[in-house]
Amino acid sequence: MDRNELAGFLRRCRTRLAPSDVGLPQGARRRTPGLRREEVAQLAGMSTDHYTRLEQARGSRPSRQMLTAVARALRLSDDERDHLFHLAGEEPPSNRAPTEHVRPGLLLVLDRLTDSPAQVVSDRGDVLAQNAMAKALHGDASARPEAERNVVWRYFTDPEARELFPPEERDRGVRAAVADLRATLARRPDDARLAALVRRLRARSEEFAALWDTHDVAVRRSDVKRFQHPVVGPLELDCEVMLSPEHDQRLVLYTARPGSESYDRLQLLRVIGLQSLTS
């Protein structure tokens, strides 16, 4: 909790509001602009003393319920509310619905990454967009039925999906996928589509059900990935995972270290992939 920053932020937000903005009478002439502290406290349903202490950087850590009430009283935008939570040392509430719309700028980045596989994946595991190199590495997701464009679903229902990875990598890969999916469901417990995916996987795969019941949780991060490509052979690639501002989409980028065998094989994959797309 950053008490000084929190105090300054609350003061600024309070002074920019007029009583009429929140349905209060103007009353007697005010010596300073904005709402009074007792008015904010009244709107938030808390004691004036408690709110005053927060503005004076002397208050105890507010509860999530109190932060929500203060954000509503001060008419904060979603970004301002999230900032308020961060200053108080709390994770902001997640009430944004996940979207499958990939921003045009991100699609432009994909198009310009001509020598490295890259794809946009939702935090549910749905492949939303791929560049030509990603299609050459993973296969063209858009050519599959919609239900089979989810990487976790394919891991547990399509044996061919695992053949892209060396045997010694497969167990680690499926465990990471399940742990990441559980972390996503914890962030969005009301996501009906995500919950349905988990139910379908549990019913379809005993392996998934067993891993799900371990309650392992881990968000996917940058890593080294090893592939066994059917044409160019083994690849060891650095995997960078970049999150969207809402954290519901990820740009996954694979690169090889210059001078390595994997780098040469990746260049070969680029040629083969482009030939396949133009043939």
Dump pLDDT digits (tens) for 41-84. 888 888 898 989 998 888 788 888 889 888 888 888 877 888 98
> Half-sphere exposure of residue 222, counting CA atoms within 13 Å on the CB side?
6
Under the banding of pLDDT at 50, 70 and 90, the label for residue 200 is: very high
> For the chain, what is the mean pLDDT?
86
Least trusted range by pLDDT, from 190-194, 195-199, 221-225, 270-274: 270-274
**Angle, CA of 32, 33 and 38, to the nearest 5°:** 80
Alpha helices per DSSP H over 123-223: 132-138, 151-157, 159-162, 167-187, 192-204, 206-212
76-93 pLDDT, tens digit each: 887 788 898 999 988 887
> Half-sphere exposure of residue 130, counting CA atoms within 13 Å on the CB side?
17
Under the banding of pLDDT at 50, 70 and 90, the label for residue 274 is: low
Note the pLDDT of residue 101.
78
**Angle, CA of 149, 212 and 148, to the nearest 5°:** 10
Note the pLDDT of residue 245.
64
